[in-house]
Each structure stands twice: as structure tokens, then as C-alpha cells.
Amino acid sequence: MQGSENGVESSEEGEEIAGNVGFIFTKGDLKEVREEIAKYKVGAPARVGLVAPIDVIVPPGNTGLDPSQTSFFQVLNIPTKINKGTVEIVTAVELIRKGEKVGSSEAALLSKLGIRPFSYGLVVVSVYDNGTVFSPEVLDLTEDDLMEKFRSWLSNVTSLSLAVSFPTLAAAPHMFINAYKTALSLAVATEYTFPQAEKIKEYLKDPTKFAVAVGGDAGAPATSAKEEKAEQSEPAKEEEEESDEDLVAGLFD
């Protein structure tokens, strides 16, 4: 762990245990421990010469300062007005941008307004576990991230194995399929055969079997549908005839 403002680490790579650092020993979940540590931060004032880790924006509203303090606002081009004997900021102003150094005027104004724009807390610099030191970003990886990386690596291994014809567990299924396709093509082009190629050869000798296999079954539902429609229309016709007979008979009642 290392102290820093707004999560900006102050140590260089390779210097994890040099300077203002501390050690935390735990048997718990490392990610949960890091999240718990990140909760504890204290406000830090804007010191002159400090590089701002974040943008600093002064909100609009009454400052509580008397009109004699308007010079600070005028130097920094902050629009103000006098309201009930105090200085009031009219609109929000971006006082300091991230990466800029804090000037004396900005530091003095923020101090008068009681604004502590930065924060100070512990930041995880590196993690040691089972003899390995790694970056804390590893703790952000989820099972989905690991599976995605595994699939990517597996795809690369498969592609490399197929390119150099080196058998691996990842490439074996593809190699077997490719070998089967080659053997099938050879059997079709020559007199050589094997059980799996017999059906293909049979269809190639008599292409009409393709039409029978595809069109023969497809025609059956159409025929039955036509017959079903005819059967449904006959009762309707009979009912219509019976209705006409009843109407005629009713005229002579």
C-alpha cells in the first residue's frame, strides 16, 4: 500500500517497497480487502505547486466572504456579485484543470472558501500471493474475462498448430475433420472406398435420389392439406343446401 492523492501513485515501477509504503497481511479475499481500504480517504487542501490529479470546479453560491475579498475573484476571472453584504459566485468556474500546477491565488481562494478538493488515502501498488507479485489490476478480472482470454489463447494455439501441422489437443478435432474430408474426396475421385463414402458415391451415381429425398416428402403435406380443405368444404356445402330447403318449406307452412 502507498499513500497518494486521488489515487495517483507516487512511486515508480520497481520501487513498490521504497518510500512511504505500508504492508497489509490478510487471509481474506484480496479484492474485498482492496475495496475496504479504498473507502477510507481524507480531504487534502490544494497546496501551491501541487499537480492537480483532478479538475477543480468552484460551485456557484454565497461564499460568506465580505466584499473586500473580491480581489481574489477578479484575479481568477470568477464572476461575482454582492448579495446581502457578502460575495456570491454567479456561475460555476473551472478553477484548476487536471495536470496543472496549483498557483498561489488558486490555493488562497480555495483555502478561504474552505474547499479541500483533493483526497488522501491508501492505494494498492502491488499484490503478493503464493510467491508471485502482480499488479492490482488483476483483481478486477472476472470469470468471464478469464474465459474470454482462455478462448482467445485456445484459438491462437489451434491456428498455430494447424499452420505448422503440429498435433495438439486444441487442433486435433480440426485435423480429424480435415483428414476425413481429404479421404472422402479421394474416394469420390477414385475406385477406393470405405463405408462412410458409399452413400456419397451412391447419390453421385444417381442424382435423382437427391430430388426424391428432398421433394418426395415435401409434396405429401401439400396433398393432404388439399384433401383436408376439400373435406372441410363439403360439409359447408351440405349445410348451405339444407338451409335453402328449410327456407322454401317455411313459405308454405
Provide the domain count of the chain: 2
Beta bridge partners of 132: 129
Whether residue 5 is contained in a domain is answered as yes
Residue 30 falls within a domain, yes or no?
yes
User: Are 40 and 149 part of one and the same domain?
Assistant: no
Cell of residue 111, nine digits: 483555502
Residues 130, 149 share a domain = no
Same domain? 16 vs 132: yes
pLDDT in tens, the chain (253 residues): 544 445 444 444 456 677 777 888 888 888 888 888 888 888 888 889 888 888 898 899 888 888 888 887 888 888 888 888 889 898 888 888 888 898 888 888 888 888 888 887 888 888 888 888 888 888 888 788 888 888 898 899 999 998 998 888 888 988 888 888 888 888 888 888 888 788 888 877 777 766 666 655 544 444 444 454 545 555 544 454 455 445 434 434 4
Which of 118, 113, 120, 119 lies closest to 58 in space, CA to CA? 113
pLDDT in tens, 140-188: 887 888 888 888 988 999 999 989 988 888 889 888 888 888 888 888 8
| Same domain? 135 vs 149 | no
Query: 193: domain range?
Result: 145-205
Q: Are 91 and 77 in contact (CB under 8 A)?
A: no
Specify if 80 maps to a domain.
Answer: no
> Is residue 189 in a domain?
yes
Q: Position 109: which residue type? A: L
Shared domain check, 28 and 151: no
Q: Are residues 152 and 41 in the same domain?
A: no
Q: Do residue 41 and residue 151 come from a single domain? A: no
Mark which of 205, 224, 240 sits at the end of a domain. Answer: 205
To the question of pTM greater than 0.85 for the whole model, the response is no
Q: Look at residues 138, 56, 161, 66 and name the one whose alpha carbon lies nearest to residue 99.
A: 56
Confirm whether 228 is domain-assigned: no
Residue 103, in any domain of the structure: no
Amino acid of residue 3: G
150 shares its domain with 33: no
Residue 4 near residue 121 (C-beta atoms within 8 A)? yes
- SS3 state of residue 122: strand
Rg, Å, the chain Cα set:
42
The answer on 156 and 39 residing in a single domain is no
Identity of the amino acid at 40? Y
Q: Residue 162: inside a domain, yes or no? A: yes
- The per-residue DSSP string of 22-44 comes to -----SS-HHHHHHHHHT-EEEE
Please check whether residues 121 and 201 belong to one and the same domain.
no
Residues 159 and 201 grouped into a single domain: yes
What residues contact residue 111 under an 8 Å CB cut-off, 6+ apart? 45, 46
Instruction: Indicate if 154 and 192 belong to the same structural domain.
Output: yes
Residue 99 lies in a domain: no
